[in-house]
Amino acid sequence: MFRRVCMSIVALTVVAWLVAPATAEVIYFDGFSRPQSGLQHLNGTAPEVRSGTLGGSSTATWLAYAGPDYDGAPVEWDHSWQTDGTQAKMAWEGDPVQRMAWLPFVPQSGQVYTYSMRMNNTWAGNNNWIGMGFFKNVSDTQTPYFSYAAGPQIFERPMGATADQFSWSAAGPTGNGNSDNMAWGVKGQHEFEITLDTTGAQWSTSFAVDGGATYSRSYTYTVAEGNPVITHIGMGNGGGRMLVDNFTLTGVPEPSTLALLATGLFGLLAYAWRKRR
Ligand SMILES: [Ca+2]
């Protein structure tokens, strides 16, 4: 009888595991809904969700800086980004310096990560771009703004014939924001998404703006390029100003993790049943 019940539980667990779709786990979320009045610095504050799983940190706080200025002025931590209670915005202090905001993140293998956010470039000057992506070597002495050598990133910039004409382009080892990697659209609020698939030996990444309706690209890192080294995810500008909301990083745990959980659950059930008996 005991064996039969156990076998039934095992069978049900396996079936449930096979049938249930792998669900995305929220690693980070920030809707920038802070209990505050007026503007406050983003730097040093915690995102609304910081699960501490799948490569995120349970103690993560935002790192935000302005600069270094093109003239070599030092990095200014904490002046570059603010929250207004509902969204985050870039503080504007006159100079078109880089203003970045990051959270720590080291991707694990065997995952499918999705990094998404709503962004609005509110500054339409020539080539004043904004963007988001995966980065490495973030510290107070190294300020790696958007660089093709880092992880996958996506940009929006007004470089068209008119101020309302915007472009989107993706960057990675093989996509450097060149014209063949670009799409044109109109200024305004858009939904951005980058996926990073680490399930294969060679990682792959894809980009979508407005669910792919406005922009869509993907590629796989070659053996020669190697997979990117990533220590943070972030957002920022190269002269533009931006409003952002619904910053989200999710991961889908690999099946072996779920199988382990299922095995543990089965063990507990069997133990409870036996004790009851
Ligand atoms: Ca919000």
Is 72 in the same domain as 177? yes
CATH number at residue 211: 2.60.120.200
CA of 84 to the centre of ligand 1 (A): 9
Interatomic CA distance for residues 61 and 43, integer angstroms: 7
The residues, ordered by sequence, that sit 6+ positions from 22 with a Cβ below 8 Å of its Cβ are 252, 253, 255, 258
Are the CB atoms for 233 and 105 separated by under 8 Å?
A: yes
Interval 205-217: pLDDT, tens: 999 999 998 888 8
Range of the domain at 16: 1-22+255-277
CA of 245 to the centre of ligand 1 (A): 5
CA of 272 to the centre of ligand 1 (A): 44
Pick the closest to residue 165 from 153, 182, 143, 149 (CA basis): 182
Cα dihedral: 83, 88, 89, 93 (round 10): 40
Angle of helix 2-19 versus helix 255-276 axis, rounded to 10: 150
User: Which tokens is 123 given?
Assistant: 């500054």
* Per-position DSSP letters for 86-107, written without gaps between them: SSEEE---SS---EEEEEE--P
- φ and ψ at 184, to 5 degrees? -110, 145
CA of 99 to the centre of ligand 1 (A): 20
Sheet holding 182-186, edge to edge: 76-77, 63-66, 99-104, 232-237, 130-135, 153-157, 165-171, 182-186
H helices present in the chain, as ranges = 2-19, 255-276
CA of 62 to the centre of ligand 1 (A): 16
CA of 28 to the centre of ligand 1 (A): 14
The tokens 């570059």 sit on which residue? 80
Interval 12-54: pLDDT, tens: 665 565 556 678 999 999 999 988 788 899 999 999 999 999 9
Is 16 in the same domain as 50? no
CA of 87 to the centre of ligand 1 (A): 5
Interval 166-208: pLDDT, tens: 677 776 555 555 555 677 777 788 999 999 999 999 999 999 9
Is 91 in the same domain as 227? yes
Are the CB atoms for 169 and 181 separated by under 8 Å?
A: yes
Is 40 in the same domain as 174? yes
Interval 146-168: pLDDT, tens: 665 568 888 887 666 665 666 77
What pTM did the predictor assign? 0.81
CA of 34 to the centre of ligand 1 (A): 9
Q: How many domains does the chain have?
A: 2
Interatomic CA distance for residues 58 and 245, integer angstroms: 21
Of 86-95, 137-146, 238-247, the one with minimum mean pLDDT is: 137-146
CA of 155 to the centre of ligand 1 (A): 21
User: Which tokens is 13 given?
Assistant: 């667990």
Is 194 in the same domain as 274? no
CA of 37 to the centre of ligand 1 (A): 15
CA of 48 to the centre of ligand 1 (A): 10
Is 5 in the same domain as 105? no
Is 267 in the same domain as 143? no
